[in-house]
Amino acid sequence: MPAFGRSLKEIFLFSLPIIAGQLGQMLFGIGDIVVAGRYSTEVLSALGIATAIFSPFLLIGTGITFAVSPLKARMIAEKRDVSTVPGTTLALGFLAGTVLALMVVASGFCVSALGLAPAIEELVVIYLMICAGSMIPVMIFQVLKENLQAREKTLFANSLILFFNLVNVGANVFFIFTLDWGIAGAAVATTLSRTLMAVILYAHAARQLTITRKVSFPIMGHLLKKGLPIGLNGLLIGLIFSLVTVLAGKMSVTASAANNILINISSLTYMVPYALAGAASVKVAGAFGRRDFHAVTSYALATLCLGFMSATVMGSLFYAVPEAILSLVTADPRVIRYGVGLLLVGAFYQVPDAIQVTVQGCLRGLEVTFRPMVYIFLGIWGVGFPVGCFFAYAKGMEAAGLWMGMAVGLTAVAVVNAALFVRILMGYRRSPTAEPQALVPCAIQQ
């Protein structure tokens, strides 16, 4: 129990700055929307569409970087040479950012296929063409953040995110209103903020890390192999929420409004277990590198406990005071009445969602990323979505039915991923000296 208590404390304290940083990432987009909404309805509409197009590329890019901190933490624990990791990850960030930026530009040429109004279409294209350039600094910032996180240095990078929320809002006001650049101003503000964040974090990281020009292509390939499934995992989850939003929008205006409120609130509460997963990936990887399987188990249980606690607290609030929560966002009594039932389903959704994401963080610590992606696909698209459609349409539950389906799908994912983690951990306990057979030292063969 003392060991578990220490693990609980370590994960909690380690995750606090990460939670703040994740909330800051969410607020970044909200700042753009708030300022743009005061400029014109057309810009607000175009910004929402452009952000929806840009987000999948961002999810894939940041997902790739999430493989950095577990790999480096394990190499450090095994007392291996990590001098090539910063330079390799920076090269990977630049290359991946360039490819993703070109993909964003290409998506701009496909906007006409959406059948938008000509005025909105032009604004969307402008935003995408300018904001594509921000993909490279985003990736540079992320790989530096993950390198620092591997050494459990999380305060500066995450504080920087929070600070630049204010900078971004100020830049938006200046470019959108003072210079009257409209949506181009929003894109410039976002790109400028992301570039400055990358430059400042690089200056800080240069004092904390050994950054050389040495690039290890085996490590780069390994990071791509492990990181791409993480990015695709996030994309699969993002797409199901987009689909639920579209389907709810076809039900009624009230259903659509209540559904959007629940999605935004759930995205906010999701940041806590999401950050816990990031902390767990580093702690589990370090313990695994030391072949301390008792610590691996302790960190995993501590993460699950904290994730379950946060989900229970949020779910209890959804259940106990749904009207009060909805009233913070809307004064429409029809939306509040409809949203109460939706929040009750959302209350039960919180727990399996928290468990599945924290278990995935523990699996990342063991460098197991492909199978969790497959399980997410099968769980939410193969199980959750059909079940949700059954409840929504056959049982007449509408948006609440869709959320119930997602809860069922994520419950299945949580159970299967937990079983996978236990099975892999037990395998290493039986053969604690077994060495993975891979190109990169400290890579785990799945």
Per-residue pLDDT of the chain (446 residues; tens, 9 = 90+): 577 888 999 999 999 999 998 888 877 777 787 788 788 888 888 888 888 889 889 989 999 999 999 999 999 999 999 999 999 999 999 999 999 999 999 999 998 888 888 888 999 999 999 999 999 999 999 999 999 999 999 999 999 999 999 999 999 999 999 999 999 999 999 999 999 999 999 999 999 988 888 899 999 999 999 999 999 998 898 888 888 877 887 888 888 888 888 887 888 889 899 999 999 999 999 999 998 999 999 999 999 999 999 999 999 999 999 999 888 878 888 888 988 999 999 999 999 999 999 999 999 999 999 999 999 999 999 999 999 999 999 998 888 999 999 999 999 999 999 999 999 988 887 776 555 434 344 443 33
Tell me if 262 is assigned to some domain: yes
Tell me if 179 is assigned to some domain: yes
Distance between CA atoms of residues 380 and 287, nearest Å: 31
DSSP state of 132: G
Domain count, the chain: 2
- The answer on 293 and 163 residing in a single domain is no
Tell me if 8 is assigned to some domain: no
DSSP character string of 158-190: HHHHHHHHHHHHHHHIIIIIIS--THHHHHHHH
- The answer on 328 and 208 residing in a single domain is no
- The answer on 105 and 175 residing in a single domain is yes
Tell me if 1 is assigned to some domain: no
Of residues 88, 44, 50, 98, the one with CA closest to residue 213? 88
Q: What confidence score (pLDDT) does residue 434 get?
A: 55
Give the tokens for residue 404. Answer: 């119930």
Q: What confidence score (pLDDT) does residue 433 get?
A: 59
Domain end (from 161, 188, 215)? 215
Give the tokens for residue 425. Answer: 């951990």
- The answer on 317 and 172 residing in a single domain is no
- The answer on 390 and 275 residing in a single domain is yes
- The answer on 267 and 179 residing in a single domain is no
Distance between CA atoms of residues 249 and 263, nearest Å: 13
- The answer on 176 and 105 residing in a single domain is yes
Residue-number span of the structural domain to which 187 is assigned: 16-215
CA distances to 68, 70, 121, 210 from 277, in Å:
14, 11, 38, 26
The type of residue at 135 is M
Q: Which residue has the tokens 């624990």?
A: 77
Distance between CA atoms of residues 323 and 258, nearest Å: 12
Tell me if 240 is assigned to some domain: no
Tell me if 164 is assigned to some domain: yes
- The answer on 183 and 37 residing in a single domain is yes
Tell me if 438 is assigned to some domain: no
- The answer on 165 and 297 residing in a single domain is no
Distance between CA atoms of residues 114 and 121, nearest Å: 9
- The answer on 59 and 181 residing in a single domain is yes
DSSP character string of 4-72: HHHHHHHHHHHHHHHHHHHHHHHHHHHHHHHHHHTT-HHHHHHHHHHHHHHHHHHHHHHHHHTTHHHHH
Q: Which residues contact 399 (CB under 8 A, 6 or more apart)?
A: 244, 247, 248, 251, 255, 258, 259, 262, 342, 392
- The answer on 175 and 35 residing in a single domain is yes
Tell me if 227 is assigned to some domain: no
- The answer on 108 and 34 residing in a single domain is yes
Q: What are phi and psi of 434, to 5 degrees?
A: -65, 135
